[in-house]
Amino acid sequence: MAVSREKQLSNGLYRFQRKVAPYGFILPGTAFYLMVTIVPMFMGLWMSLHRWNILRTRQTFIGLENYASVLTNPVFWEALKNTLIYTVGVVPVQIGLALIVALLLNAEIRGRTIFRLLYYLPVVTPLSIAAVIWQWIYHPQMGLLNAALSTFGVAPRNWLGDPKIAMFSVIIVAIWAGLGYKMVIFLAALQGIPESYYEAAMIDGANKLDLFRHITLPLLRPTTLYVFITSLISSFQVFGLVNVLTGGGPLDATNVLVMHIYRRAFSDYQFGEASAMSFVLFAIILVFTLVQWKVMGREVSYD
Amino acid sequence: MRFKATRLSCIVAAALLIMSFAGGIGFAAKKTVVTHWQHHTPARAEMVEAFAAKFMQENPDIEIRLESIPEADYFSKLLPALAAGSGPDTFQIPAGQILTYVRSGVIQPMDVNNSAVRNIEKEFIAPAISRMKVDGKYYGFPIDNATVVLFYNPKLFKEAGINPDKPPTTWDELIAYAKKLTKRDASGVTTQMGLATGGYGPVILSLMMQNGASMWDAKAGLPSFVSPQGIEALKFATSMVTDSKVEDRAMGSRWNAFRQEKLAMVYAGPAMIGSFRATAPNLEFRTAEVPAPRAGGSQSTLLTSWAYVVGKKAQTEAATKWVAYLTSETAQKEWILKTGDLPTRRALLDLPEYKTDPLLAPCMDSMKKALVAPWTARALDDSLVRKAYELVILKGESPEAALKWLTAEGIKAENEQKELARP
C-alpha cells in the first residue's frame, strides 16, 4: 500500500528529530570545546615540533629536538621531582583528611553546619589572597606559626625561605586550600549510602570499625577513585599557589613543572620547548591516571 | 495621494537620519585611535591616565585607549596578542628586547618627522638610548629607568652613634656601619638588620661593575663572570649574610623591614622613593650614592630600563607623538615626582631643584655614572644572578663555583636571545 504524503512527512520529521536534530543541539557546545581544547592541543603539538618564536610568522621545523632537549635538561627533572614531591605530599594526605572530616561531619553533632562552612571557606577564598595570608602566617619573625611554636620552645624557622622546608610549607597550604572541596564530595557520597546497610550489619554484630571497613569504604570506592584521579591531575598542574607563595624559589626548591613551562614560554620566549614539556607532562599524567584506574578501578561498583 | 506623500516623507526622513549617523561615524573615524598597554602600578596607571587626558585635549584628532596590566600577567597577555595581530599600538618592553622585537617584525621605527625623535641623541643620555637604535633607526623612548642607590634611616644612624650626614663611602665603611646598626636579642635573634641587598640582581651586578669585573667576553660576544674582581664582589655581597651577618634573611622582606625601621640601610632602585612615601608616609629616610669598593673608586651601577615602542600596525605619526609625549621633559618631571622613575633627559639631570633635593640628588648623580649591561638576555639582569647569589648563601657553594654556573647559564640564555633576534 502506498504511504500517504502525510505519513511520509511525518516519518521524515521523526527521522530528523531522532537522527539529525540532536547533533544540532550539541553542535554549539562541541564546536566551542573543539575550538578551545582540541584545536589548541593539536596546535601545541605542532608548536612542539618547531623552534617557535611567537613573535614571528615563520617557524623552523626541528622535529623531536625540543623533546630531546627537555628530557636531557636537569632543570626539567628537578621541576618534575618537585612536582612529584608536591603530589605525594598533598594528594593522599588531603584525601585522607577530607574523608575523616566528612565522616565526622556526617554524624549528628551540634554546630556541624558551621563546621562544614568553616572547612569549605578556604575553597571559596581566592588563591592569591590565601597565599598572601599564608605568607604572613609563615613570616619568620612576625608570623603566627613561629609565634605559636615558640610557646613550645621550638626555634623560629624560615618557612618559605629555607630550601629544605619551603616545599613542605607549600604542601601544608595546598592541603588546607583543597580539603573542603573533597570533604563536600565525600559527604555527599556518605549521605548516599543507605542507612539500612548499617542497620543490617549492626544486627549481625558489626562494630563501628567493621561498618567502616566493610560498608563505608567499599561503597565510597567510586567517589574515592574520582577524587584521587582529579586530585592527581590538579596537583601535577599546580601553578598559582606556588607562584604567589614562593615564585618557585628559594633556589628552585619549589619550582614545579608548570611554573618551569610558563617561564620558558613567557620569560624566555621558548614556546616550542614549553609546548614539548606540556606534552611530556600530559603523558606523565595520563600514565599515572591509567595506573590508578587499573589498580583502584577494577573493584569499583556503581550499584 | 496624501498617503503617498506621507510615505515619501518618511522615506526621506529615514534616509536623512541614516546619512547623519553615517556622517557622524565617518567623522568619528577621522580620530586616530592609539591603544596603549603597560604593566601596572597604581601610581603609574594614575599618571598615564592624566597624561592621556591632557594629550587628547592637545590632540583632539587622537584617542588614547589605555590598558594597565599587572606585571605578572603582562607578557602572557602581550605576546599572544602580538602573535595574533591584535596587539596594542604602543606598549613597553625591556630595552634589551628591542632587537628581538625588531627582527620579529612586530615593532616599527618611530616617525623621523617627529622632532623628539630627530633630537633624541641630543636630548637623552647615551646609556638610556643605546639599545633603542637598530640599523640606524630609533624604535623607542626610554622609560622605567633605574640605577641603584643606598637608602638609609637617619634615626637609626643617630641611635647607633653614627652621623647621618655622613653615609658610608667605601665598602669597608659600609660593613663597619652595618655591624654597629645590627641588633640581636638575648637569644641571638636579629631584631634590626644593618644592611640588605636581598640578592637583587642589579645590586649584585652593580657591585661587580664597581669592583672592575668584566662580565663580558667581547671576542665571543657572550657573558663571562669568572674573574678575581667578580669573585671578590660576590663574596662581599654574600658575606653580609654568611660572615658579618648584618643581613638576616629570616627577617623576611627587606622592604617591610625598612618600612618598619628594622633595617638601617638597603640597596634599592630610586623608584622605592615613591613606594616608601606611599606605603610608609611617616618613615624618615635618605638616599646616598652607593659606596665604592675603596676610597676614590667607582660608584657606577647598572642601568636597567624599559622602552615605549610603536607596534607594527600602529599609525606611526600618532603613536610616535604619544610615546614622545610620555617621555617629554614635562612628563619626566612628573615621573620623578610621583614614582621616582629617573629622568634620562640631559636637561633634567642637572636641574637645580634636583641638585638641592636631598633624596633626588644622589639618584641623579647615579644616573650620570650608570652603565648598561652588554647582554640582552633578561634572565641575566636578575633571576640568574639572584640564583648564583643563593647558591652561595643557601647551598654553601663558593663564589667562584657560583660564577662558573652563572657564566654557563648566562651563555645559554644569551645564545637563545641571539637566536630570537636573528634576521
Answer yes or no: do B39 and B79 share one domain.
Answer: yes
Shortest Cα distance from B335 to chain A (angstroms)?
A: 27
Domain span holding position B359: 32-146+304-371
Residue B27 has pLDDT above 80, yes or no: no
- For residue range B277-336, list pLDDT tens digits in order: 888 999 999 999 999 999 999 999 999 999 999 999 999 999 999 999 999 999 999 888
**pLDDT band per the 50, 70, 90 thresholds, residue B386:** very high
Q: Is the pLDDT of residue B24 over 60?
A: no
Question: Letter for the amino acid at A82?
Answer: N
Residue B402 and residue B274 share a domain: yes
Chain B environment of A158 (Cβ under 8 Å): 249-250
b/e code A54-93 from CB counts within 10 Å (16+ = b): bbbeebeebeebbbebbeeeeebeebbebbbbbbebbbee
Question: Which one of A51, A55, A156 has the shortest CB-CB distance to B106?
Answer: A55
- The whole-angstrom separation of Cα A79 and Cα A99 is 30
Report residue A244 as a C-alpha cell. 604567589
For residues B222 and B251, membership in a common domain is answered with yes
Contacts of B82 in chain A (CB under 8 A): 54-55
Do B100 and B223 have their domain in common?
A: no
Q: Which chain A residues are closer than 8 Å to B139 by Cβ? A: none
* Structural domain contains residue B161: yes
- Number of domains present in the structure of chain B: 2
Q: How far is A134 from chain B (nearest CA, A)?
A: 13
Which residues have C-beta within 8 Å of that of residue B381, sequence separation ≥ 6? B94, B96, B201, B202, B205, B302, B304, B373
Cα separation of A161 and B249, whole Å?
A: 7
Put simply, whether A56 touches B (Cβ < 8 Å) is yes
3-state secondary structure of A117: helix
Within-domain flag for B173 = yes
Per-residue pLDDT tens for B126-166? 989 999 999 999 999 999 889 999 999 999 999 999 999 99
User: Is B10 domain-assigned?
Assistant: no
pLDDT band at B352 (very low <50, low <70, confident <90, very high): confident
Residue B355 confidence class, pLDDT cut points 50, 70, 90: confident
Of residues B93 and A4, the one with the higher pLDDT is B93
Pairing label, strands B133-134, B190-196: unpaired
Q: What is the mean pLDDT of residues B392-412?
A: 96
Which are the contacts of B412, defined by CB distance < 8 A and separation ≥ 6?
A: none
- Asked if A246 has any chain B CB less than 8 Å from its own CB, the reply is no
Contacts of A110 (CB under 8 A, 6+ apart): none
Cis amide prior to A250 (ω within 30 degrees): yes
B13 belongs to a structural domain = no
CA distance B331 to B270: 17
Q: What is the DSSP string of A10-60?
A: HHHHHHIIIIIHHHHHHHHHHHHHIIIIIHHHHHHHHHHTEE--TT-S--E
Residues A55, B391: C-beta atoms closer than 8 Å: no
Contact A269 B420 (CB under 8 A): yes
- Rounded to an integer, what distance in angstroms lies between the CA atom of residue A47 and that of residue A263? 16
B15: pLDDT strictly greater than 70: no
Q: What confidence category does residue B210 fall into, taking pLDDT thresholds of 50, 70 and 90?
A: very high
Decide if B259 contacts B153 (C-beta within 8 A).
Answer: no
* C-beta of residue B247 within 8 angstroms of C-beta of residue B197: yes
Are B416 and A270 within 8 A, CB to CB? yes
Letter string b/e over residues B308-321, b meaning 16 or more CB atoms within 10 A of that residue's CB: bbbbbebbbebbbb
CB contact under 8 A, B413 and A252: no
> Residue B412, exposed/middle/buried by CB under 10 A (0-12, 13-18, 19+)?
middle
- Kindly state the cell numbers that stand for A28: 554549539
Are B243 and B249 within 8 A, CB to CB?
no
Look at A266 and B420 and tell me if their CB atoms are within 8 Å.
no
Q: Could you tell me the pTM of the whole model?
A: 0.86
3-state secondary structure A56-102: CCCCEECCCHHHHHHHCCHHHHHHHHHHHHHHHHHHHHHHHHHHHHH
Q: Which of A56, A66, A69, A141 to mutate to test the interface with B (most CBs of B within 10 A)?
A: A141
Instruction: CATH number of the domain at B240, please.
Output: 3.40.190.10
- Are B170 and B388 contacting, i.e. CB atoms less than 8 angstroms apart? no
Question: Given an 8 Å threshold on Cβ–Cβ distance, is A55 in contact with B394?
Answer: no
Q: Residue B194: how many CB atoms within 10 A of its CB?
A: 26
Question: Cα separation of B310 and B316, whole Å?
Answer: 7
Does A255 touch chain B if contact means CB atoms closer than 8 Å? Answer: no
Distance (Å) from the alpha carbon of A90 to chain B's nearest alpha carbon: 26
User: Which residues of chain B are at the A interface, by a Cβ-Cβ cutoff of 8 Å?
Assistant: 72, 75-76, 79-80, 82-83, 100-101, 104-106, 189, 249-252, 378-379, 383, 387, 390-391, 394-395, 413, 416, 419-420
Q: Give the cell for residue A9.
A: 512527512
Letter for the amino acid at A226?
Y
Interchain contact, A141 vs B250, CB within 8 Å = yes
Q: Are residues B167 and B295 in the same domain?
A: yes
pLDDT at B339 (0 to 100): 78
**Do residues B48 and B85 both lie within one domain?**
yes
Burial class (CB in 10 A: 0-12, 13-18, 19+), B173: middle
Tell whether A142 is within 8 A of chain B (Cβ): yes
Smallest CA–CA separation between A51 and chain B, in Å?
Answer: 10
- The verdict on B165 and B195 lying in the same domain is yes
Distance from CA of A234 to the nearest CA of B (A): 21
The answer to whether B125 and B115 have CB atoms below 8 angstroms apart is: no
HEC per residue, chain B = CHHHHHHHHHHHHHHHHHHHHHHHHHHHHCCEEEEEEEECCHHHHHHHHHHHHHHHHHCCCEEEEEEEECHHHHHHHHHHHHHHCCCCCEEEEEHHHHHHHHHCCCEECCCCCCHHHHCHHHHECHHHHCCCEECCEECEEEEEEECCEEEECHHHHHHCCCCCCCCCCEHHHHHHHHHHHCEECCCCCEEEEEEECCCCHHHHHHHHHHCCCCEEECCCCEEECCCHHHHHHHHHHHHHHHCCCCCCHHHCCHHHHHHCCCEEEEEECCCHHHHHHHHCCCCCCEEECCCECCCCCCCCCEEEEEEEEEECCCCHHHHHHHHHHHCCHHHHHHHHHHHCCCCCEHHHHCCHHHHCCCCHHHHHHHHHCCEECCCCCHHHCCHHHHHHHHHHHCCCCCHHHHHHHHHHHHHHHHHHHHHHCCC
Provide, as residue numbers in chain A, all residues whose Cβ is less than 8 Å from the Cβ of B250: 140-141, 156, 158, 161
In a domain, B3, yes or no: no
How do B263-268 and B133-134 pair as beta strands? Answer: unpaired
Cross-chain Cβ contact A56/B105 below 8 Å: yes
- From CA B105, how far away is CA A56, in angstroms rounded? 7
Nearest Cα neighbor of B110 from B137, B144, B82 is B137
* Cell numbers linked to B291: 659606596
B107 located within any domain: yes
Task: Point out the residue among A54, A162, A262 whose CB comes nearest to the CB of B83.
Answer: A54
Closest CA to A65 of A282, A281, A278, A276: A276
How big is chain B by its Cα radius of gyration, in Å? 26
Q: Return d(Cα B255, Cα B103) in angstroms, integer.
A: 39
Amino acid (1-letter code) at residue B128: A
Tens of pLDDT, residue by residue over B99-132, are 999 999 999 999 999 999 999 999 999 989 999 9
Cβ separation of B250 and A51 shorter than 8 Å? no
CATH code for the part of the protein at A66-297: 1.10.3720.10
Would you state the cell numbers that stand for residue A215, as one nine-digit string? 560498608
The tens digit of pLDDT for each residue in A255-291 reads 999 999 999 999 999 999 999 999 999 999 999 989 8
Q: Which cell numbers in the block locate residue A256? A: 614545579
Chain B residue with minimum CA distance to A142: B251
**Touching check for A249 and chain B: CB below 8 Å?**
yes
Q: For chain A, which ranges sit under pLDDT 50?
A: 303
Closest CA to B79 of B68, B63, B64, B93: B93
For residue A164, which residues of chain B lie inside 8 Å, CB to CB?
none
Q: Are residues B189 and B128 part of one domain?
A: no
Chain B positions touching A55 (Cβ under 8 A) are: 79, 82-83, 100-101, 104-106, 420
Q: Is the pLDDT of residue B8 over 90?
A: no
The contacts of residue B216 (CB under 8 Å, 6+ apart) are B222, B223, B224, B374, B375
Is B416 in Cβ contact with A269 (below 8 Å)? Answer: yes
Same-domain status, B255 and B308: no
Query: CA A165, A168, A174: angle at the middle one, nearest 5?
Result: 145
At residue B7, does pLDDT exceed 80? no
B253 min Cα distance to partner chain A (Å) = 9
Alpha carbon of residue B153 to chain centroid: 24
List A50's β-bridge partners, or say none.
A61
Per-residue confidence (pLDDT) for residue A298, from 0 to 100? 60
CB contact under 8 A, B419 and A269: no
Confirm or reject contact between A46 and chain B (CB < 8 A): no
Confidence bin at B195 (pLDDT 50/70/90): very high
Of A112 and B399, the structure prediction assigns the larger pLDDT to: B399
- Chain B hits for A269, CB-CB cut-off 8 Å, are 79, 100, 416, 420
How many CA atoms are closer than 13 Å to the CA of A163, on its beta-carbon side? 16
| Chain A interface, best mutation among B263, B386, B420, by max A CB count within 10 A | B420
**How distant, in Å, are the alpha carbons of A300, B147, B174, B240, B257 from that of B153?**
67, 20, 14, 18, 11
Residue A3 carries which side chain, given as an amino acid letter? V
| Residues A33-61 pLDDT 10s | 999 999 999 999 999 999 998 888 889 99
Q: Note whether A268 contacts B: Cβ–Cβ < 8 A.
A: yes
Residue B137, beta-bridge partner list: B134
d(CA B62, CA B55): 8
Sole residue written with cell 612628563: B331
Q: Is residue B343 part of a domain?
A: yes
Set of chain A residues whose Cβ sits within 8 Å of the Cβ of B104 = 53, 55-56
Between A56, A141, A243, which is nearest B251 by CB? A141
Q: Exposed (0-12), middle (13-18) or buried (19+): which is B118, by Cβ within 10 Å?
A: middle
> Which residue of chain A has the CA closest to B412?
A268
Domain shared by B173 and B140, yes or no: no
CA distance A221 to A219: 5
CA distances B106 to A262, B80, B84, Å, are 22, 12, 11
- The pLDDT value recorded for residue B141 is 96
Q: Would you call A55 and B251 a contact, using CB atoms and an 8 Å cutoff?
A: no
Chain B residues within an 8 Å CB radius of A161: 249-250, 252
- B26 min Cα distance to partner chain A (Å): 33
Chain A residues within an 8 Å CB radius of B383: 267
Residue B3 has a pLDDT of 53
Interface residue A262 vs chain B (CB under 8 A):
yes
Instruction: Clarify whether residues B36 and B132 are in a common domain.
Output: yes
Q: How far is B80 from chain A (nearest CA, A)?
A: 7
The verdict on residue B7 lying in a domain is no
B290/B331 same-domain check: no
